[in-house]
Amino acid sequence: MQAFLKMGKLGEPSASPSTSGAPKKKTKNLPWVEKYRPKTVEDVVEQREAVSVLQQCILGADLPNLLFYGPPGTGKTSTILAAARQLFGDLYKERILELNASDERGIQVIREKIKTFSQLTANSSRADGKLCPALKIVILDEADAMTHAAQAALRRTMEKETKTTRFCLLCNYVSRIIEPLTSRCTKFRFKPLNQSFVLERLQEICQVEDVLINDDILNVLVKESGGDMRRAITALQSCANLKGKGSHITLENVYEVLTVVPSKWVNSFWDLCKKPSDIKEIIQFIDDLEQQAYPIQKVYEHLNDFLMDSENIDDRLKSEIGEKLAESSFRSSCGRGDFTNLLDFAVHTQEILTEPLERRRMQALENAKFTTILGLS
């Protein structure tokens, strides 16, 4: 691990972070996510299955078509890049073609690029005389953003170029990849990273970059990143830039960078819902909350966390409130009207928490009768 951290940009070893000369200059302005990208598949943490299969492939100097799927920041791109570097050594940049499926609109562009790339000849020896596979790798990021028609066309391209080219499809949602493609690839699920791995990696980066931060605060940063290492590393770098060298990163810095909704807002929201308070009070509160301009989905996420952790709301009520929360969150994600959606959620939650179930059922029946009489249903 230490050896990994002492490396400069993409495999150019430097003596040590403090004594390195040219390589340090090169990496100085790199975003940390690039600077600390794993250089070998052994450096990839947690994704054991993918790592062990790729280790075997590197030994055998061959590669199947691959499909890596899972949430962002879990090492999909890093793993295939590291494997390519190990397979091809210095030649690796010539041997890979990275395409972003969601950028390159239409399969035609992709096909052309792949065709031109596959036609380039690949030697089976490296400049240093070592053997390397006579193959090239096409990395197709965000493959799940391609239409089904484009995916079907890709299947044909994949078959045609199979002698010289291997494909590595990367995506978040495997269910959006058509079966004929998935069945041609060896699939690996990339799991959200365990907090302890992310914490460990961040602590190492802090040491090398002289970042001053307490473990408690680093833990909050890790927790808020939700297993996404890219998010965690980027947030750490933003905090470090915010404070400058030599000053301690505070909890407020972390909250600001990750736009965490402070718990006082979430607690007050639930306090309001637990008592039969005046609607004006709720409106005023939501108005104030909106003024803070926290991303609305973050607010829902925190409300959900609070609901799940709350010990004095029984499970049946939790499920009722959870359903309302999902509904409001979905409506907000579809468009505007955050204020109305939050208000609707608050009023319903208040009703659920303060009125007995029987009374609510009676009320619902009354409402149904009323709408039937008026012919509104």
Ligand X SMILES: Nc1ncnc2c1ncn2[C@@H]1O[C@H](COP(=O)(O)OP(=O)(O)O)[C@@H](O)[C@H]1O
The residues binding Mg ion (CB under 5 A) are 77
> With CB cut-offs between 5 and 8 Å by kind, which of Mg ion, ligand X, none does residue 38 bind?
ligand X
How far, rounded to the nearest angstrom, does the alpha carbon of residue 139 sit from its chain's CA centroid? Answer: 18
Smallest CA-to-CA distance from 63 within 119, 129, 123, 137 is with 137
Interface with ligand X (CB under 6 A), residue from 27, 78, 157, 350: 78
Total residues found in the chain within this entry: 377
Rounded to a whole number of angstroms, the minimum distance from the CB of residue 37 to ligand X is 4
Q: Which residues are within 8 A (CB) of 141 and not within 5 positions of it... i.e. 6 or more apart?
A: 77, 98, 99, 100, 101, 170
Determine the 3-state secondary structure of 100 from DSSP: strand
Q: Which stretch binds ligand X (CB under 6 A): 67-75, 102-110, 209-217, 270-278?
A: 67-75
Q: Does 45 contact ligand X by CB under 6 A?
A: yes
> With CB cut-offs between 5 and 8 Å by kind, which of ligand X, Mg ion, none does residue 230 bind?
ligand X
When CB distances to ligand X are compared, the closest residue is 75
Q: Which is nearer to ligand X, 14 or 329 (CB)?
A: 14
| Both structure tokens of 126 | 């490296």
Interface with ligand X (CB under 6 A), residue from 74, 86, 328, 332: 74
C-alpha span between 368 and 261 (Å, rounded): 38
Specify the residue for token string 């989905």: 297
When CB distances to Mg ion are compared, the closest residue is 77
Rounded to a whole number of angstroms, the minimum distance from the CB of residue 174 to ligand X is 13
C-alpha span between 324 and 345 (Å, rounded): 6
> With CB cut-offs between 5 and 8 Å by kind, which of Mg ion, ligand X, none does residue 83 bind?
none
C-alpha span between 229 and 344 (Å, rounded): 35
Build a one-symbol-per-residue string for 178-207: x at contacts with ligand X by CB under 6 A, - elsewhere.
Answer: ------------x--x--------------
Q: Answer yes or no: are the C-beta atoms of 122 and 88 closer than 8 Å.
A: no
> With CB cut-offs between 5 and 8 Å by kind, which of Mg ion, ligand X, none does residue 266 bind?
none
Interface with ligand X (CB under 6 A), residue from 14, 47, 151, 349: 47
Build a one-symbol-per-residue string for 203-242: x at contacts with ligand X by CB under 6 A, - elsewhere.
Answer: --------------------------xx--x---------
Vertex 373: Cα angle to 367 and 377 (nearest 5): 65
What's the farthest any 2 CA atoms get from each other in the chain? 88
Helices (H), 310-356: 315-334, 338-354
Q: Does 38 contact ligand X by CB under 6 A?
A: yes
State the residues that interact with ligand X by CB under 6 A. 33, 36-38, 44-47, 72-78, 190, 193, 229-230, 233
